[in-house]
Amino acid sequence: MKCTQYFLFVRQRPDRAIIKEEWIIETINNPLREQRQSDGRIKKWGYIEEAEKYLRVILLEDGETVHNAFFDRSFKEESP
């Protein structure tokens, strides 16, 4: 998994250290929702059953380098 120096630094925080790499990869590969930011970065969300939370992963413009990953308390799934 490619990642930025920022991600490696922030991942040391206790609230981020619990996020497993496999959860990040699963969210990247099978997102519930995906959105491109105005700066070109890509946001992807996934639901992590084990944690019972939604995970937001921010990728750089290349679509593969992880810049950030955190549990998103404000995410709401869209109704069909």
Give the Cβ contact number of residue 66 at 10 Å: 22
Q: Is residue 19 part of a domain?
A: yes
Q: Is residue 77 part of a domain?
A: no
Q: Is residue 79 part of a domain?
A: no
List the structure tokens of 65: 């380098």
Q: Is residue 65 part of a domain?
A: yes
Domain count, the chain: 1
Task: Note the pLDDT tens digit of each residue in 30-51.
Answer: 999 999 999 999 999 999 999 9
Task: Note the pLDDT tens digit of each residue in 70-80.
Answer: 999 999 876 55
Cα(32)–Cα(45) distance, integer angstroms:
6
Q: Which residue has the tokens 């609230």?
A: 15
Cα(63)–Cα(61) distance, integer angstroms:
5
- The pLDDT, as a whole number, for residue 31 is 97
Provide the residue range defining the domain that includes 48.
5-71
Q: Is residue 80 part of a domain?
A: no
List the structure tokens of 60: 């750089």
